Amino acid sequence: MTGQTHAGARRDYLPAMGRHWLLPLYDPFTRLAGVGRIYRQLLDRAHLTDGADSRRILEIGCGTGNLLTTLGRRRPELATVGIDPDPAALRKARRKAARRGLQIRYEQAFADELPVADASFDRVLSSFMLHHLEEDERLRTLREVRRVLRPGGELHVVDVDGTPSGHNRRHQHPRVAGSRPELVLAALREAGLAEVAENGRHQARFGGYVFYRATRPDGEPA
């Protein structure tokens, strides 16, 4: 999931499969890799109660919309928004939602410049996206997440485990190396998020992955 960056509307970003022309392979790849199970695990952790305090959901780096489609099938009444800089991925995401009759709003945007109001979301979700960001962009993104969460709102993340292991130690991509859990946890804290914690670590066919959670400190002015 790493490779060249590609020019978006105004700036570069790393697309889902590392190269733009590989996007058609993304959904077959995630299906084969069994990523659907990981989406369900992330949603199970996201503490989506029936109450009014977990209704507004934002996914940053939504790609082709697989996580929000899974969520929409479970909880069609939630107000869900997905953002991604990749227009081709967003087209696929919108088509999926339309086919299933789901009301999901998809917008083209970068995660460190979210086109949404302060404190306007109860949950922010992020799935296999943080390792697409350089370190400084990741910190700006996490500060932006803090801005758009309401006080007490929660961020739930799953991302690749950048812990070096024997076979990848020498050839690890720098962005994956930046995804070592201790570095992700430090970035979450540096962004001013509270109750920062690792929320589980697992091994899949394509490698290890880690869940994280954090909240916008409660009692802060919105």
Ligand X SMILES: C[S@@+](CC[C@H](N)C(=O)[O-])C[C@H]1O[C@@H](n2cnc3c(N)ncnc32)[C@H](O)[C@@H]1O
> Site residues (CB under 6 A) for ligand X?
1, 13-16, 30, 60-63, 66-67, 84-86, 89, 110-111, 127-129, 132-133, 137
159 near 207, Cβ under 8 Å?
no
Least separation in angstroms between residue 6's CB and ligand X is: 9
Taking the least distance from each CB to ligand X, the nearer of 129 and 214 is 129
Taking the least distance from each CB to ligand X, the nearer of 170 and 205 is 205
Taking the least distance from each CB to ligand X, the nearer of 75 and 220 is 75
Least separation in angstroms between residue 210's CB and ligand X is: 14
Q: Which of 178, 58, 61, 149 is nearest to 110 (CA)?
A: 61
Report in angstroms the alpha-carbon separations of 41 from 54, 83, 156, 201, 212.
Answer: 17, 21, 11, 11, 12
Taking the least distance from each CB to ligand X, the nearer of 109 and 196 is 109
- DSSP code per residue over 87-116: HHHHHHHHHHHHHTT--EEEEE--TTS--S
Least separation in angstroms between residue 15's CB and ligand X is: 5
User: Which element (helix H / strand E) includes 149?
Assistant: strand 149-160
Least separation in angstroms between residue 132's CB and ligand X is: 4
82 near 93, Cβ under 8 Å?
yes
Report in angstroms the alpha-carbon separations of 176 from 104, 156, 159, 184.
Answer: 30, 19, 10, 11
Question: In the complex, which residue's CB is closest to ligand X?
Answer: 63
Least separation in angstroms between residue 83's CB and ligand X is: 6
Taking the least distance from each CB to ligand X, the nearer of 92 and 216 is 92
